Amino acid sequence: MKLRSKTSLIMVAIIIAVLGITGISYLYFLENSLRNSIYDGLESISDTSSQVVSRFLDDTRREALSVALALDKKALEERDIPKIEEKLRELLGIFPKFGNGMFLLDKDGKLWVDYPKYQKTRGMDLSFRPYFKRTMKEQAGIIGVPYRSVRTGNPVLTFTALLRDASGQALGLLGCSVQLNSPLALEGIRQTKIGRSGFIYVYDKTRLLILYPENARILKEDVKPGANRLFDAAIEGFEGVGETVDSHGVPMLVSFKHVPGTNWIVAAQQPQSEAFAPIRAARERIIYGIIIAVLITVLIVSFAVRGITEPILRLRRATMLFDTGNAAERDGCIKELEGIRRGDEIGDLAIAFREVCGSLDKTMISLRDYAIDWERTFNSVSDAIFILDRENRITRLNRSAANLRNIKPEDAVGQSFYKLMHGTDRQPDYYPGPGDLVTGTPHRIEVKGILGNIFKLTLMPLVNESGEIVGTVCTARNITDQRRAGEVLRKRERELKVKSRNLEEANIALKVLLKHKDEHKEELEERVLDNVRKLVLPYVENLKNGKLDVKQATYVEIIETNLNEIISPSSKNLSSAYFNLTPREIQVADLIKGGKTNKDIAELLNVSLRAIEFYRENIRRKLGLTHKKLNLKSHLLAYKS
């Protein structure tokens, strides 16, 4: 046997052994990985569903307590039914999940008011209900046992809150009824599918089915002890995942999780035939792949190895050494190619490969430079850029996009874009699908992200060479500050409008007050003038007719003249002319205006002549007559006109 034949047989045996061992090991690893993945998925679903149910029960119980606290204690004590009904109607708009009814029971368990109204239950004795007995016994609100509603026939759960009067005495209880199959309650869990036929159901430790895909089985205890091994173990306290047979005899994978604070148990199950279908398919494909690989290897080795010569080995070594980034390996590749003899197809192939290597080397260097430039530009853009596939999973993102959630780019790749931006895998209604985008036309929307920021998104379709849309390029710009600035500006504008309106009203009020002041002033002036005419001037006239000496007569005449000037219309002008004169200067000015000489004025005022001359100079200076050839008497008389 030739060496090449021996080498071929050894290579075939080695390849068969390697492929067989590798395939079997990979199959074992894959089966365990898939099984563990399925178990982890079911356990995660049951755990998440348990938390959802727990949050629903806690939130609803707090909402029932809020409804009770919102009721008027006086109306409760007086049993003011119209007022209580109106309040319940208002609260139903705030807590729509209580649409099955909110009702009040007195201390004896009789229903005396409810909303929405249902006349058949008014006055009904419900003291036999477990939720009434527990609430009155514990003196606190509780979560009842599910039952079918008298109103609708649907499965419901009642949340209670104790009602007290102003002194703290119990008046009865408030019941808030929630339909379990309502979208506002737990219908989402009941409708959840695991795979094609797996589902989630909820039951309590009394074997009562609370949630189940089949409506007919809800609120029934039709799982007998022993029919489902893990079902019974969960009632005893088991939590986890395992294989079992359900009450219908179907092998199942099921995960159980207890709802904290209740006797409820959440179960997530999937038929084993469906769950392990990928394992069976993977096993068959790997086995077929190993067989086909072995057959192909045997044929190739048997017929091709015999014709392989040293030039092929050299060419292979040259190919393995080719690396555009390593100069030493590139030189080794060239040496191997030069060692291949010329004149045959292998030699021609070596020459062509050498030329291709040179061109490829240049191309790779250019592509590497282009890639570096593109990556640098891509990451230098301040806006967040996401490249998505048709399922809206992230395939690439720039540094600004990664910084939005403080996440590494490699950790974000493969995640749902909606999960990253909005915290949900479900596509919001206002997002267009890839089929809704028009090539070359950007689609712009504004959305609110998971951190409360507002983003302006620009969506552009990503197409391949044939024009088919294969993904989306999404650019996100944070416009939260712009929106907030706009809100602040609009708020300031509203405040300015209010202040302007208040200022206009104050201005109107001020004008009214000024008008009233002017009217009051005119009225007061008229009253003073009338009193002077009626009460003062008659007595002055009597003095003139009496026996007076010359000096006294002069004083009376001056008094009468000044009083007449006071009550004359020109007195205002005269007063304005005297506004900066002293009282003595005003006396002197009046006497000058009356035609008195300096000597007469000095005698009347009992002062010296030099003092009167001093007053005259002051009067001329204050009236602006200094260094002017104007008669002071004529100037003063001019104010009368």
Computed on alpha carbons and rounded to an integer, the radius of gyration of the chain in Å comes to: 52
Distance CA 299, CA 8 (A): 10
Beta bridge pairs of residue 114? 103
Lowest average pLDDT, out of 87-96, 319-328, 425-434, 518-527, goes to 319-328
Torsion of the alpha carbons at 373, 375, 381 and 387, rounded to the nearest 10 = 140
307 has a pLDDT exceeding 60: no
25-50 mean pLDDT: 86
The DSSP call for residue 533 is I
Distance CA 94, CA 149 (A): 22
Q: Report the SS3 class of residue 383.
A: coil
**Using 50, 70 and 90 to split pLDDT, how confident is the model at 541?**
low
Buried b (16+ CB within 10 A) or exposed e, 257-270: bbbeebebbbbbbb
**Using 50, 70 and 90 to split pLDDT, how confident is the model at 142?**
very high
Residues 6 or more apart in contact with residue 629 via CB below 8 angstroms: none
C-alpha distances (whole Å) from 68 to each of 108, 126, 154, 177 are: 18, 19, 24, 13
3 state SS for 418-440: HHHHHCCCCCCCCCCCHHHCCCC
The residue with greater pLDDT, 533 or 482, is 482
CB 556 within 8 A of CB 540: yes
CB 540 within 8 A of CB 560: yes
Distance CA 155, CA 142 (A): 18
Structure tokens at 189: 């869990």
Say which amino acid occupies 235.
I
Structure confidence by residue, pLDDT tens digits, 387-427: 888 888 888 888 888 887 778 888 888 888 877 777 777 77
- Residue count of the chain: 641
Structure confidence by residue, pLDDT tens digits, 146-199: 988 877 888 999 999 999 988 888 899 999 999 998 888 888 888 889 888 899
Question: Would you state the pLDDT for residue 158?
Answer: 93
Distance CA 431, CA 422 (A): 12
**Among 340, 359, 339, 336, which Cα is nearest to 348's?**
340
Lowest average pLDDT, out of 73-82, 285-294, 422-431, 571-580, goes to 571-580
